[in-house]
Amino acid sequence: MTAVLTSSIEAAETDADPVTPWIDLGYGVALSPNGGSPGALQVLTDQAVRLIATLHRSIEVKRQKLLATRESLQREWDDGDVPSYLDPDSEAVQGAWQVAEIPPDLRCRRVEITGPVNDAKMVINMLSRNEAGYRADCAMVDFEDSMKPSWANVVAGIQNVAAAARKELCHVRPASRTRPRKEYALDSDDMAKLLVRVRGLHLDESNLRVDGAPVSAGLFDLALCLLHGAAPQLQRGETPAFYVPKVEHHLEARWWNLLFVEAQQAIGLEPGTLRATFLIETLPAAFQMEEILFEVREHAAGLNVGRWDKIFSDIKVLKTHPDRVMADRGSIGMNRRWMRNYATRLIRICHKRGAYAIGGMAAFTPGRTPELRQHQTSKVLADKKAEFQLGHDGCWVSHPFFIGPALTAFPKDQQLDVRHEGQNPRPELLPGSTPPYSLNGLRTNVRVGIAYLEGWRRDIGCVAWDDLMEDLATLEISRAQTWQWLRHGVTLEADGLEGGLRVDEDLVRRVFDEELDRVLHEIDGELEDRPEQREARRASFLAAQQEALDIFTEKEFRPFLSSASNLA
């Protein structure tokens, strides 16, 4: 593969620079002008380029139609309609079908740990035992909610997946003034099962174009991870396994299944070789989970209760409805009727069809004191026990520290015998307007927005903040809720203020200023003896605060923080 310059595809033009030619990779594929790093050229082999071109030309038109349907449906919901169930007499609902038999290496998924795929040290830690000797059953390395989709991160992610699939991933932390050099490596005889979450249907990979159009980011992730990672796994009798996020309609699941079929065929694998777990993390998908599972039954490993993104979707889909204004983020959990119905329905459908039902995320990061860590552990244990008692086959944690407690809560490899057969097959899934709405809730949203955007500016897709792991899902909840409260002029409870506070743009701006002052005060205390580092951090948070404020107060609500990756 030669890097021949082409003028047929133009990069984005700036005032300072002329148009820079893209790099011609052959087969009608072009790479962004600054995207030709050694790592990128290593993963973009001739076979990889041909595979991406073939898949893009086959199914990109279908993807664009599906995205147009999303926009059309959202306009209907904005005008007052709501998502609803489909035909109760369809084959998906009434048929006697089952998913393909679950492979042996995907039959025990009690605890799955997740984190960004681009960080080799974190990937190694997710796949390995923690300091207490506990190891997750599965590790979901993530191209989506916990990874900012910069080109460098994406390329590093592909390389890490390939190395982990070979059981050869390693990382060296250089020595510093305060820490010695340290090497990280996998124990090839004792690893969690590798799972890969690709990016969603809505995301473009801006750095690679086929016939002048950006490729689907999810297609890119799946094709390259399958191409570079499947062979060593299959040689050991293991299953290439994926997670698929953000599905909103069963026809989108059909598109993903088509991608699975054509990608496997193109590299010489039998249909059904790979397996995928679909996250049911949007409100429309909650009404169509059986139809979604039906569409992917040949490749299905299960469904997952993606509860954080689901809260975001609930707000986004119903954002204009005055009777469905969501309460404080912290008050929304499986205690809410519509959330419990959604989880129970997922378990019933999965177990009826022979698929696994995976529970939600415990988003804690270990606190700084033994007392705080004990409090967090108790909450994780209670949450995971509740998920097990409901009938889930497994759950998620975001930090290795909590693997042990989560394993304690799931004493069985699976619970396919839990059927919830007496449950209403069509329970109420729409949220309502229920309190609390509080000034503290607004402060939490604003604080998360500032912290997350500060990390995003540094190419980071998840940040440990206030003893929680905040990723894109929680940022999306925070901005969507603030936007919805602004839209409807919600009155917030505020300590010592009778009658509350009405949410308007002036209040939001004031809270942003107050929370930034708190953050800067914390930085001054932490970095008191390092003035240069302190000033750099202050400047970074100042810029992030302005960016978050602009996004939170946009007049037109954007569907996602971003629908395209960053150009290299």
Q: What is the DSSP secondary-structure string of 295-352? A: HTTTTEEEEEE-HHHHHHHHHHHTTT-GGG----GGG-STTSHHHHHHHHHHHHHHHH
Short-list 282, 317, 335, CA closest to 480? 317
The active-site residue out of 63, 109, 135, 197 is 197
- Whether residue 276 contacts residue 102, with contact meaning beta carbons closer than 8 Å, is answered with no
- Report d(CA 529, CA 115) in Å as an integer: 32
- Report d(CA 140, CA 146) in Å as an integer: 11
Whether 457 is catalytic is no
How many CA atoms within 13 Å lie on the side-chain side of 402?
33
**pLDDT score for 18:** 55
CA distances from 544 to 326, 446, 452 (A): 26, 11, 8
Which CATH superfamily does the domain covering 53-409 fall into? Malate synthase, domain 3 (3.20.20.360)
- Helices (H), strands (E): how many in the chain? 17, 19
- Report d(CA 472, CA 458) in Å as an integer: 14
**pLDDT score for 4:** 33
Angle between helices 472-488 and 531-552 (to 10 degrees): 50
* Claim: this prediction has a pTM higher than 0.85: yes
- Whether residue 515 contacts residue 349, with contact meaning beta carbons closer than 8 Å, is answered with no
- Whether residue 559 contacts residue 316, with contact meaning beta carbons closer than 8 Å, is answered with yes
**pLDDT score for 9:** 29
**pLDDT score for 40:** 98
Sorted by sequence, the CB contacts under 8 Å of residue 343 that are 6+ apart come out as: 305, 307, 334, 359, 360, 387, 390, 392
Report the Cα 274 to chain-centroid distance in Å.
Answer: 20
Report the Cα 557 to chain-centroid distance in Å.
Answer: 20
- Report d(CA 19, CA 260) in Å as an integer: 37
- Tell me whether the CATH fold assigned to 53-409 matches the one assigned to 439-552: no
**pLDDT score for 20:** 87
pLDDT < 50: residue spans in the chain: 1-17
The active-site residue out of 105, 328, 471, 537 is 471
Domain ranges of the chain: 53-409, 439-552
- 548: tokens are 């978050």
CA distances from 464 to 23, 148, 178, 460, 490 (A): 37, 15, 21, 11, 29
Short-list 139, 150, 144, CA closest to 472? 144
Whether 189 is catalytic is no
Fold annotation for 439-552: Malate Synthase G; Chain: A; Domain 4 (1.20.1220)
Classify 100 as helix, strand or coil. coil
**pLDDT score for 176:** 87
